[in-house]
Structure 1
Amino acid sequence: MHGSAPPPPAPVDRSSAAGFAVNPLDRMSMRRHDVEFLKGLQASEAARTLVLAGDLPVVKRGKNGFDPFFTLSEAARLGAVRETAFLGCDASSALFASLIERADDIPADPHIAFLDIRLIATQGLLPAEIVGPLGEAKSLLSWHARHRFCSNCGAPTRALAGGWRRGCEACGAQHFPRTDPAVIMLVVDGDDCLLGRQANFAPRMYSCLAGFMETGETIEDAVRREVAEEAGVTVGRVSYLASQPWPFPSSLMIGCLAEALTRELAFCDHELEDARWFSRDEVRRMLRRSHPEHLICPSKVAIANLLIESWAENRAADSQR
């Protein structure tokens, strides 16, 4: 349909086990500036779009489950479309993302549902190869909703390059979608690992430590700083394991293993409600939900689960060599 061969199969990276990480689309980033090309894709009867009302994905409700795909004309009939962005192409069609301001702007319809994107991912309401593009759509449209005015001069901006840039006609400034890098790390000491919990976690759940990277900071230094701030533990060697797009609103979780040089805990920034060292056997029980204290780990949607399970089952050893 779009004059190019289907994209090759995606490599099976460790990251692909995390939620929102499987995205089979050919983003065709080299063609985003071709206005006529994009118009041709939009005019095609095969073109589809994912619709978000604010932050909520809109889906069709059917006998066999939920269908997230709309034609562009169907999306326009739902309500006033504020932004449209080009996500990419698969072997058969182009996929766009359409933003309607609020769920209240869409008339009640028994065949239409609004789903929380976390629920979609955690409960497997849609296949992984759809959840990834849906996360892409949410992140991109959230950026548009929050960047309608130029940060340089305050004038209104307009979407360009298929929705991957906003331009200011008043001062000429160009603005691009942002991704906020965050480190998430499993701190290990031999056969023990450090897990913590925040007050807003699910009851009895412990997870990896995490935090946003700062300007001018390496991944390794961000890991060491965050662990020291949150738990008072000194970290030595840091190794990368996997990553995960996290559309809340637009983060990239960079998963690492971190070797502890000290074990004494001190909750320096009071972000953690609790933290403790767990043996590998305890962690395996937490993953199986058979821990004697009924402690659990995050669900498989979260990259924390991938980090914890890889270490618990000795599948992370290659990243430490």
Structure 2
Amino acid sequence: MKIAEQVTFGGSGLDRAAELRSNIPALAAALQDDRARTVLLWRGKLLIEGETGFDLVRLPMTHPVLRDARDAPILLGREQGAAIFAQDISHWQPEGLEDGQLGGFLDTSEQAHPALAQGQRFRELRAMLTRLSLRDAELAATAKAIFGWHASHGFCARCGAPSQSHNAGWERICAECGAHHFPRTDPVVIMLITHGNRTLLGRSHGWPEGMYSCLAGFVEPGEPIEAAVRREVLEEAGVRVGPVRYLASQPWAFPASLMFGCHGEAISDEITVDPSELDDARWVTREELTDVFAGLRTDILPARKGAIAHFLLRNWLADRLD
């Protein structure tokens, strides 16, 4: 697909400076460089500023708010010759915020730390998917994913002992058995399934009323992408799929997936929904989907802007899958 990398989080050519991760003297020098900057997270949210479009805030390494960061900075890469890091202050408790107030399908609340400049606040990445620049989106997704991995992999998968962060945050090592652990990404197929002039849409349990999207599922061990597409569609909707081709990919840090966008041609059209997998599934014509994207339907809401499903469906409508 010629426009594959135009998908949200499609990449900005960030220099990830991997050679610095294990070079302790060079990493120390990078940290002490006055040009070095860090992005900041709080409970998975990113520090941003701006109103119409959002900018990811890059703080100097000496900023007072970083005194609340308990762990060492994680190296994200290099911008304009200087290192850029990520740090986390999730243990900070905003005044008046009670446990259980955050979360839900889309958390649109914002939090402002008193040590930060006016207008700078923490915002959920899902709530600004298409309102970040390519570079800011890549940095944000990388930071969110790597901190999510550390949060869920604090103990060795081999022996159960606590593990420690190494290599500028890109490795964990168990002091008990010596096992080395590296960040993991879960492969997921997401499918634009077509049958003539129609595409197959489904909705998962707990989604907002009327929201439909492409079917998706995790790739199983030992399974090719194409086979995963056919298996998932058959399991979830009872539809058999013939030819499958890859279109585009999208890092999806919710919490740590890599979405493989594919186009599959259905060879059957009778739908049998597995109620444990989907709430509903239906065939939608091009004309109907055009109305959905135009906001003319009340029974179907379009896939969320910024998600690869929206990208695939929109380009199917525009006949731009090649």
- Determine if the TM-score, normalized by the shorter chain, exceeds 0.5: yes
Q: How many residues align?
A: 303
- The normalised TM-score by structure 2 is 0.86
Q: What per-residue deviation string (whole Å, max 9, x for no partner) do you get for residues 28-55 of structure 1?
A: 2233211111111111111111111221
Cα separation, 1, equivalents of 2:113 and 2:314: 44
Q: Is the 8 A contact 2:78 2:84 kept in 1?
A: yes
For 1:71, which of 37, 45, 60 is the aligned residue?
A: 60
* Structure 2 letter corresponding to 1:183: V
Cα 1:74–1:60, aligned 2, differ >3 Å: closer, same or farther?
farther
The reply on whether 1:45 has 2:2 as its aligned counterpart is no
Q: Is the 8 A contact 2:187 2:219 kept in 1?
A: yes
In the TM superposition, residue 301 of structure 1 has moved relative to its aligned partner by 0.4
- Could you say what secondary structure the match of 1:304 adopts? helix
Larger mean CA deviation between 54-63 and 227-236 belongs to: 54-63
Q: What per-residue deviation string (whole Å, max 9, x for no partner) do you get for residues 175-221 of structure 1?
A: 00000110000111121111111232333222100011111111011
Q: What per-residue deviation string (whole Å, max 9, x for no partner) do you get for residues 209-235 of structure 1?
A: 001111111101111111011100011
Q: What per-residue deviation string (whole Å, max 9, x for no partner) do you get for residues 231-267 of structure 1?
A: 0001111100101000011100100001101100001
Q: Is the 8 A contact 1:120 1:131 kept in 2?
A: no
* Structure 1 letter corresponding to 2:82: S
- The normalised TM-score by structure 1 is 0.87
Aligned to 1:84: 73
- Could you say what secondary structure the match of 2:302 adopts? coil
For 1:27, which of 16, 28, 41 is the aligned residue?
A: 16
Aligned to 2:295: 289
Identity %: 38
In the TM superposition, residue 117 of structure 1 has moved relative to its aligned partner by 1.1
Larger mean CA deviation between 70-79 and 158-167 belongs to: 70-79
For 1:309, which of 309, 314, 320 is the aligned residue?
A: 314
What does 1:243-258 correspond to in 2, within 5 Å?
Answer: 243-258=249-264
Cα 1:300–1:187, aligned 2, differ >3 Å: closer, same or farther?
same
Q: Is the 8 A contact 2:129 2:305 kept in 1?
A: no
Cα separation, 2, equivalents of 1:64 and 1:306: 20
* Structure 2 letter corresponding to 1:41: A
Q: Is the 8 A contact 1:229 1:269 kept in 2?
A: no
Cα root mean square deviation, aligned: 2.4
Q: Is the 8 A contact 1:235 1:261 kept in 2?
A: yes
In the TM superposition, residue 309 of structure 1 has moved relative to its aligned partner by 1.3
Aligned to 1:206: 212
Q: Is the 8 A contact 2:10 2:250 kept in 1?
A: yes
* Structure 2 residues not aligned, in runs of 5+: 95-111
